[in-house]
């Protein structure tokens, strides 16, 4: 069950940061998904807050965008 603060930091932080990073690089969901080994539907679920990422996915996204996992989760600016 989701709460105001869930596994991905403050509610809404991870989805917003992921979408912002992807759009900043003018990348569509399909391209990002292919680069990190996920489906575009999963990227969409992450961005809408429907699904929380696995640790493996968080690390892959952080590595790709050259940010920390803590940044993605809203634990640092």
Check whether 5 has a pLDDT greater than 60: no
Check whether 4 has a pLDDT greater than 50: no
Mean pLDDT of 46-74: 96
Mean pLDDT of 48-64: 96
Q: Do the domain assignments include residue 58?
A: yes
Q: Do the domain assignments include residue 5?
A: no
Q: What is the pTM of this model?
A: 0.84
Q: Do the domain assignments include residue 36?
A: yes
Residue among 56, 54, 65 nearest 23 (CA): 65
- Max CA-CA distance within the chain? 33
Check whether 1 has a pLDDT greater than 70: no
CATH code for the domain of 45: 1.10.260.40
Mean pLDDT of 4-28: 82
CA 22, 64, 53, 13 torsion: positive or negative?
Answer: negative
Q: What is the mean pLDDT of the chain?
A: 89
- Residue 48, domain extent: 11-72
Q: Measured between alpha carbons, how far is 33 from 75 in angstroms, rounded to an integer?
A: 24
Q: How many domains would you assign to the chain?
A: 1
């Amino acid at each position: 069950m989701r709460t105001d603060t869930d596994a991905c930091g403050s509610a809404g932080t991870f989805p917003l940061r992921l979408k912002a990073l992807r759009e900043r690089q003018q990348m569509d969901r399909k391209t990002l998904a292919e680069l990190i080994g996920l489906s575009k539907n999963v990227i969409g679920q992450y961005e809408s807050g429907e699904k929380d990422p696995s640790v493996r996915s968080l690390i892959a996204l952080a590595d790709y965008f050259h940010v920390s996992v803590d940044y993605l989760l809203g634990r640092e600016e």
